[in-house]
Chain A
Amino acid sequence: MIKSTKSSEYIFYSLVETPYADPICAMALNDHMLSLGTMLGRITVYFIGDKRSILLSEISAENISGASFESDYVINLTIGDKEILKYEFGQNQSGQLVLNSHSREEIFSTAEDHYNKCETSFTLIGKENVLVIDLNNKDLDGIKQNISFLKVITVYKIYL
């Protein structure tokens, strides 16, 4: 069965603008806020209640590969396969949501390890875990054109 709702029941509330040619590649929405991440690593949080946005990062080392709310006021973002950012918000005396704290965790243990694996690894973010997939783990040289070759990859599941 198909039902149509009048468009007028839905109103334009706001446009959170992003720079030209910097596409949004990570997005998370809950009752209180909207979080956006772009290919160039721009991170914006928009507070729905007071129609206000704050820029958390103009640019990052890598693209924002995922965004996920851990709870109402805590958001986790992955910066490519480099690191995981956690932002925690709270209310100030005026009742406005403000950034309380933030922390970062490197995905690879050393900068050299990240440098060696950056081309072939990527991340996916869930509510409680980050999945790091390293495609270039074993036996790749010389057989890249054989698409049916099945290879074993290593997946790291990081508990947030």
Chain B
Amino acid sequence: MRTNYDLEISNYSVPFDFVDSKYLWLDYLESSQRSISCYNFDSSKVFSHEVRKDFGHVSHMKILPNNRVFLVRNHSLCEIREMENDFKLVQSFYNLGNIEILAIDIGINSTSNQKENRNSENTLIPVDNLIFTLLDREGNVNVWINSLFTKKFNLFEMKDINDEFKKKRFFNMNYPYYIKYCKNFFAVSTDLGCFVIKKI
């Protein structure tokens, strides 16, 4: 089954996220201005907020529950904003060492009582119950949870990693890279393939 919707976008737009009920994208407008927009398929409403050039480069954006968005500005500044109230800033933090963030993953903290997927709009999931996993250009994997930043590991310094791998560069091809986190496993895409890392 399929449903058609009509959306208004600019000629130069960048898709960022889609979570079943919402689609998030960025439009390039005139005079170096850009617009961050989110369409809600359930209510047929669009949130749109214009940002100026001094807002900086936006490299990552993800839809969060409770009508919020997570974004990465200027390569390492992470922000959680409301998609209402003039794009109100809820929380912000820099990646450890201000190193460029290559990939992000957002999940629900399994130690909390929340079992819902981040897609769910019907449950109020506090930001503190979300896990933000960040992969940076130097191979660090950092996790931000409940306002606490933890450096988990560096891909080049992992226990049991083959010395041959350590000599290679993982992020030299400037591909888009991905990181996924599920319970005791991380999966990280690199130029060589996908590393699977286990917590012991």
Interface residues of A (CB under 8 A from B): 1-5, 7-18, 21, 23-25, 27-31, 34, 36, 46, 48, 122, 124-129, 131, 133, 135, 143-144, 146-159
Contacts and interface: CB of A to CB of B under 8 A. Distances in A.
A89 B29 CA distance: 46
A12 B193 CA distance: 13
A11 B194 contact: no
6 contacts: A3-B150, A10-B197, A11-B158, A13-B198, A127-B117, A156-B3
Given A10-B197, A12-B162, A2 B149 contact: yes
A157 to B, nearest CB: 5
A23 B199 CA distance: 26
Interface string B24-43: 00001110000000010100
B54 interface: no
B193 A156 contact: no
Interface string B100-139: 0000000000000000010100000000000000000000
Query: What class of interface size applies to chain B in its complex with A?
Result: 35 or more
Contacts of A11: 158-160, 197-198, 200
B187 interface: yes
A23 B172 CA distance: 12
Nearest to B186: A10
B150 A5 contact: yes
Interface string B62-81: 00000000000000000000
